[in-house]
Amino acid sequence: MFKKNATSSDVKKSLSKCLDIKRDTPTRLKHLRTVLDNTDAGELKSFLDVNYSPVFHVFYEAFITFEGNLKQK
């Protein structure tokens, strides 16, 4: 409802932050979502084609973390 739309500079920053392996997984996932929500289909396809491996690892780490949290409960 009160969400601010991301500008092109915000999306560019989020692109670099979601690919930064030094950041933690939830932060990378948050920035990846920003990129996915605010990029048009053509640019998004080329981004995912070039960066499929880092994007896969973000999702993989997120699922492993989520699975570990479920097993602890």
Whether 48 maps to a domain, the answer reads yes
Whether 52 maps to a domain, the answer reads yes
Host domain of residue 24: 8-72
Whether 17 maps to a domain, the answer reads yes
Whether pLDDT at 1 is above 60: no
Whether 50 maps to a domain, the answer reads yes
Whether 3 maps to a domain, the answer reads no
| pLDDT band at 4; cut points 50, 70, 90 | low
Whether pLDDT at 7 is above 90: no
Cα 65 to chain centroid distance, Å, stands at: 15
Whether 2 maps to a domain, the answer reads no
Residues near 13 by beta carbon (within 8 Å), at least 6 away in sequence: 31
Lowest mean pLDDT among 5-19, 38-52, 54-68: 5-19
Query: CA–CA distance from 14 to each of 33, 66, 70 (Å)?
Result: 9, 22, 28
Q: Percentage of the chain surpassing pLDDT 90?
A: 81
> Total domain count for the chain?
1
Whether 55 maps to a domain, the answer reads yes
